[in-house]
Structure 1
């Protein structure tokens, strides 16, 4: 899956801020597609006439704000998810490195999958809240916000309801990782050149391609997970789910039996269309935020370009660069005193 490239010229807080800003903006912009996708996965009446009709039905029944239901929960999930994912990933990579600090691509992808599972466990209640908020009609709401959703689910259905379907996150990570690995293993054949020569545009295309293939392979697991998150005996129409089931395996069986195998990929069109603008905005917003940070740190001459500041060692970290500046300033000050 595509990810932003780490730059040692940024502080940890700046990197975190850049990732958070890029994630918030890209998720908010593509929220309408996410709403259509999740409604299609759950099986609400909006999705029964196809991709384009889903937008019209949501607008007619809920208005424009219906396209941004659950977006706050999705955005709030970014911060702890990113922090836990990065911390866990670094620890797992360090464990699998050899004496020279090298790690194979397969092990790196596996480490990414395991780190993602740990991060998903930490933030899973927010994902359940997002699904419930999207599945309901915002003009006749059962839940009034993120905190209200989580607290009401906990009070009425118990703690386990906030983790219903989590096992499917782990199962879905297997085909997702395989998809990522298969794409990355064949990129040199696709472009007919080694990966270290890829341009930023090629890396962007690679990220979108890997995300598209990986998400398609793991999509049936996410569809069943969304149905399990949405279904509740305490909600009108059992939460709007189009099949009734008693557990994970029964959900798979009922979906295939009543809706057909291809219904496990309901909403895939919206999900696939979302990939390009989501990652495009993610990279663009990250780079904009990164340029501002690099300018503040003194590495580039303007926040609007990547033109390097003359005489600045780009290999130094922010703290090292500040220390070097202080040293040069004090040395120049001492020299001027000696001339007096």
Structure 2
């Protein structure tokens, strides 16, 4: 009886932790969304100037905040946040699922294979899990960036995109599905290092 009850408790605990983690992430990402959008606007203003979506350069963080509020209002400071929040849940679920899969595939044991090989296996499984997860959610990150950089000038003019779904429709129509994965190789390289060390060190030092 106890052996049947424990998996149920573990599943409930995992579901509760997963849900609470999602809610916490949604709140924190939403709170930081205005800063994130300003950062993206400042990073991409050269390209926006070239395409005519920005009349003149931002003078800094404060100037960028002021101009966005003056030209677009308060609400657009959260433009692109929906995609950022949505991608958390599949990212976390896929990270753990893929990590367990690759860990089982490598199947290194500290006692049998030695510490170095076991530790390298933990890093490799974490990195592979991060790259595979990114493959599924990268398009959401791409859409968030496009929405955040879709500035509206003071003198009017329509936005390039009307929302998250519109980013997908227009990008696929002009560039195909591959257009949703611009910059993926570089992002994958970064996530392999980050997730490899994150999960690798976590699995190696936990009791």
TM-score of the two chains, using structure 2 as the length reference = 0.72
**TM-aligned CA deviation for residue 99 of structure 1:** 5.9
**TM-aligned CA deviation for residue 100 of structure 1:** 5.5
SS in 1 for 2:170: helix
Checking the alignment, whether the CA contact within 8 Å between 2:134 and 2:188 is kept in structure 1 is no
**TM-aligned CA deviation for residue 174 of structure 1:** 5.5
SS in 1 for 2:161: coil
CA 16–53 in structure 1, closer or farther in 2 if over 3 Å, else same: same
What is the aligned partner in structure 1 of residue 182 from structure 2?
A: 164
Q: Does 2:137 align with 1:123?
A: yes
What is the aligned partner in structure 1 of residue 109 from structure 2?
A: 98
Checking the alignment, whether the CA contact within 8 Å between 1:71 and 1:130 is kept in structure 2 is yes
TM-score of the two chains, using structure 1 as the length reference = 0.46
What is the aligned partner in structure 1 of residue 167 from structure 2?
A: 149
Ranges in structure 1 where 5+ consecutive residues have no aligned partner: 1-6, 185-194, 197-340
CA 19–176 in structure 1, closer or farther in 2 if over 3 Å, else same: same
> Which of the two has greater helix per residue?
2
What is the aligned partner in structure 2 of residue 85 from structure 1?
A: 95
In 1, Cα distance between equivalents of 2:65 and 2:161: 22
**TM-aligned CA deviation for residue 156 of structure 1:** 2.4
Pairing of 1:179-258 with structure 2 (within 5 A): none
Aligned partner (choices 99, 110, 114) of residue 128 of structure 2: 114
SS in 1 for 2:87: helix
Aligned partner (choices 18, 21, 42) of residue 19 of structure 1: 21
Q: Does 2:154 align with 1:133?
A: no
Checking the alignment, whether the CA contact within 8 Å between 2:128 and 2:192 is kept in structure 1 is no
In 2, Cα distance between equivalents of 1:57 and 1:49: 10
CA 57–16 in structure 1, closer or farther in 2 if over 3 Å, else same: same
What is the aligned partner in structure 2 of residue 250 from structure 1?
A: none
In 2, Cα distance between equivalents of 1:9 and 1:96: 24
Summarize deviations over 1:203-234 as a string: whole Å, max 9, x none: xxxxxxxxxxxxxxxxxxxxxxxxxxxxxxxx
In 2, Cα distance between equivalents of 1:26 and 1:111: 28
Checking the alignment, whether the CA contact within 8 Å between 1:28 and 1:68 is kept in structure 2 is yes
CA 161–180 in structure 1, closer or farther in 2 if over 3 Å, else same: same
Greater RCO (CA < 8 Å, at least 6 residues apart): 1
What is the aligned partner in structure 1 of residue 70 from structure 2?
A: 60
In 1, Cα distance between equivalents of 2:96 and 2:195: 17
Checking the alignment, whether the CA contact within 8 Å between 1:126 and 1:150 is kept in structure 2 is no
In 2, Cα distance between equivalents of 1:159 and 1:9: 36
Summarize deviations over 1:83-120 as a string: whole Å, max 9, x none: 2111001222333440669852x543443222111111
**TM-aligned CA deviation for residue 42 of structure 1:** 1.8
CA 100–151 in structure 1, closer or farther in 2 if over 3 Å, else same: farther
Pairing of 1:25-40 with structure 2 (within 5 A): 25-40=27-42
The number of aligned residues is 177
What is the aligned partner in structure 2 of residue 73 from structure 1?
A: 83
CA 41–114 in structure 1, closer or farther in 2 if over 3 Å, else same: farther
